[in-house]
Amino acid sequence: MSTPDRKKVYFLILVFLFSFFKTVVAFPESGNEVWLRYAPVEDPVTLREYQSLTRRVFIFGDSEILTSALGELNYGIKGMTGTEPATSGKLRAGNIIIGKTTDIPGNILRIPEDQLSKLTQEGYLIIRKGKRIVITGKSDAGLLYGVFRLLRLLQMGESLADLNILENPTTKLRLLNHWDNPGKLPAGIPSVERGYAGESIFKWDELPHLNRRYTDYARMLASVGINGTVINNVNTAKNGLEGWKLLTPEYLPKLKALASEFRKYGVKLYISVNFFSPVMISGINDADPANSRARKWWSDKVAEIYSEIPDFGGFLVKADSEGEPGPMKYGRSHADGANMIASALEPFGGLLIWRAFVYGNKELSPDRAAQAYQIFKPLDGNFAGNAIVQIKNGPIDFQVREPVSPLFGAMPLTNQIIELQITQEYTGHDKHVCYLVPQWKEILDFDTYAEGPGSTVAKIVDGSLFGYKYSGIAGVSNIGDEANWTGHLLAQANFYGFGRLAWNPALETEKITDEWIRLTFGNGEKVYSVVKEILLTSLKTYEDYTSPLGVGLMCNGGNTGHQGHFTPAPSSRVNYHKADKSGVGYDRTMVTGSGFTGQFFEPVRSMYESLEKCPDELLLFFHHVPYTHKLKSGKTVIKHIYDTHNEGVEQVRGYYENWKNLDGLMDEDRYQDVLNRLKDQIKYAEQWRDSINSYFLKLSR
């Protein structure tokens, strides 16, 4: 037997042994590899097909990103087929060919004009040409995304027979936002605010020394198309935090090191900064946008950063909010403040992202939900071209259910980014399964009617509705330094789903879920159906046993540690849910309430205003009703509360029982870890049920 043939036989034996042992003792897995596990292909026919098409790779061009793409391709194919492709010096059959549209000669691939014109800067085309697979695009990043896509197809056991996939990201800015705290931590403050997966992955004491985890982090981001990351908390000085120090010279080499690693995967580095930086760092008398010294300070600082990090993304700012300072101290508007920093970034192509999470101003409506709109709507048209306003999905704060923020659609002249929360601050931390993709889909598909029917949030944040120059989707990260990155293994699905939706908000929940399960657990049907059922019902289940009918905040108050916003504490939240003996819910109507409904476009406004038309699931967000009020389901509000809280707990019991059926069908570590968490979730769900039901029983009698 020739050496290659012998190798093939050895590999088939190995695959056989692997499959055999997997059924008896599956290899331990920590979840560290996330959805990039590249497990050996088990089906022999598929394996042969893949082997014959992945023997060699030929790459046009040379760059850091292409090196990453090639490294990933080799690693993935070796894992799945047993053989690393040879990097071929010659173009031959069986090659995977990677190259930009401008680099691939016409005799290898003549891309039809209509396809070529459809490709955008970060998109890719994967096409089968005889015995070759060609991955092409207009940028190195596009090629990298194409490689990840091809590897995904292989992992999912898809046929490569008629490959012809053209895909572009719909959204320009696809950002991760870390709430990680650099520097010395004040007593009792965790290294990740609202983080439940261990400590921060950013090891500031060790930087600029890099470790493998930064590379894996960047791979993970690129694999789902995330192209930028803000690595520190928007709270930069509150309670003694030291995030503001990232702008001091000590940190620049550390930032440079991180940027250099992320760049290899097409990910730009951004940081959160403090509006008072000129004062805090350089002792300038004030940070007033009208102060030329403050303005110059920002310009000099930005130039210093770009001299080391030429592709630096820009800054994220939380100003005049929850103790973070801002321009209002000087009687200036948010636009004045944002524009000062934006103009410093502008010559370098940097972006200034300004958060709209602002409330508590005494001159505004006493209804927190109404305040951000009151402040920002009048500023439409005043923000600089490279400034972007980042808006949380809802008007309160990442509740399990709240309406979409009325600011979406209300600022046609102002670039906008939507902020979603991947970390489960209000949706069960790392202790409850709560798959958020269905929630995000509902938000992105929501029709604001800003420009008549079809004015969805997705079209606002992909920039198409108003022709924004910059827009996108940001997600508050759920990543920490635990082995599996996200604490709860099933919370990896939230990270994956966020990235996929940020890439294309039109993707269906089912498709994203299907991908994640197969990539994470393989293609076994039993595991697939159990995990799918848990994921797809988990949001409703969580909502059922926590806050009913859109009433929102019912949890304990806000310390940023691991206990904050976790347990039920309805009696401490009366300001939000307004429950009393006569009824429950916040009257936000124009006729009798806070008038918040008036911030929406018609017909949404009338829908929320009307008790009859308001959807049940948001009833208590908009209306105060007696406990005996009948819902569209025919049940009274109080009966609904009792029933859903009981049903929610039963659902979690079901998850636990169903998970038990997976014993032996996956590695013991991941199996046990999820099993234990589901067991605990029953206890937490019961606690919620008992607390909420007895609270309303006492009130309503």
- Structural contact between residues 498 and 507, judged by C-beta atoms closer than 8 angstroms: no
User: What are φ and ψ of residue 137, in 5° steps?
Assistant: 180, -175
CB closer to ligand GCV, 320 vs 447: 320
* Beta carbon of residue 511, minimum distance to ligand GCV (angstroms, whole number): 30
C-beta atoms surrounding 480 within 10 Å: 23
Q: How far apart are CA 681 and CA 686, in angstroms?
A: 8
* Beta carbon of residue 179, minimum distance to ligand GCV (angstroms, whole number): 5
* Beta carbon of residue 217, minimum distance to ligand GCV (angstroms, whole number): 20
* Beta carbon of residue 658, minimum distance to ligand GCV (angstroms, whole number): 33
Q: How far apart are CA 75 and CA 168, in angstroms?
A: 25
- Structural contact between residues 513 and 532, judged by C-beta atoms closer than 8 angstroms: yes
* Beta carbon of residue 198, minimum distance to ligand GCV (angstroms, whole number): 18
Q: Going by DSSP bridges, is the β-strand pair 164-167/228-230 parallel, antiparallel, or unpaired?
A: unpaired
Edge-first strand order for the sheet with 56-59 is 86-87, 56-59, 95-100, 132-137, 124-129, 164-167
- Structural contact between residues 340 and 273, judged by C-beta atoms closer than 8 angstroms: no
List of residues 6+ apart from 34 with CB closer than 8 A? 220, 484, 485, 492, 495, 496, 520
* Beta carbon of residue 560, minimum distance to ligand GCV (angstroms, whole number): 5
Q: Strand locations in 396-466, DSSP E? A: 416-421
- The answer to whether the Cα torsion of 683, 688, 689, 690 is positive or negative is positive
* Beta carbon of residue 245, minimum distance to ligand GCV (angstroms, whole number): 17
CA angle 346, 347, 352 (to 5 degrees): 20
Which residue's structure tokens are 């014959």?
Answer: 52
Q: How far apart are CA 536 and CA 551, in angstroms?
A: 22
What are the b/e assignments for 381-405, b being 16+ CB within 10 Å?
ebbbebbbbbbbbbbbbbbbbbbbb
The pair of structure tokens assigned to 699 is 């009130």
The pair of structure tokens assigned to 611 is 């008790």
* Beta carbon of residue 318, minimum distance to ligand GCV (angstroms, whole number): 5
CB closer to ligand GCV, 178 vs 605: 178
Q: How far apart are CA 659 and CA 666, in angstroms?
A: 11
* Beta carbon of residue 445, minimum distance to ligand GCV (angstroms, whole number): 24
The pair of structure tokens assigned to 242 is 């030291």
* Beta carbon of residue 556, minimum distance to ligand GCV (angstroms, whole number): 12
CB closer to ligand GCV, 239 vs 582: 239
To the query of whether residue 397 is one of the catalytic residues in this protein, the response is yes
CB closer to ligand GCV, 194 vs 488: 194
CB closer to ligand GCV, 51 vs 560: 560
Short-list 217, 677, 226, 223, CA closest to 489: 677
In the three-class reduction of DSSP (H, G, I as helix; E, B as strand; rest coil), residue 44 is classed as helix
CB closer to ligand GCV, 256 vs 318: 318
List of residues 6+ apart from 246 with CB closer than 8 A? 182, 232, 236, 255, 271, 272, 273
Short-list 378, 419, 423, CA closest to 396: 419
CB closer to ligand GCV, 558 vs 603: 558
Determine the distance from the C-alpha atom of residue 535 to the mean position of all C-alpha atoms in its chain, rounded to a whole number: 16
Q: Which of 288, 397, 430, 447 is catalytic?
A: 397
Q: How far apart are CA 644 and CA 632, in angstroms?
A: 15
CB closer to ligand GCV, 152 vs 565: 565
* Type of residue found at 242: E
- Structural contact between residues 331 and 378, judged by C-beta atoms closer than 8 angstroms: no
CB closer to ligand GCV, 359 vs 659: 359
CB closer to ligand GCV, 397 vs 515: 397
To the query of whether residue 442 is one of the catalytic residues in this protein, the response is no
Q: Going by DSSP bridges, is the β-strand pair 228-230/95-100 parallel, antiparallel, or unpaired?
A: unpaired
- Interacting residues with ligand GCV (CB under 6 A): 179, 193-194, 233-235, 318, 322, 357, 397, 558, 560
Q: Which of 425, 430, 462, 515 is catalytic?
A: 425
According to DSSP, residue 404 is labeled: P
Q: Which of 308, 322, 508, 663 is catalytic?
A: 322
To the query of whether residue 322 is one of the catalytic residues in this protein, the response is yes
In the three-class reduction of DSSP (H, G, I as helix; E, B as strand; rest coil), residue 349 is classed as coil
- Which residues are annotated as catalytic? 322, 397, 425
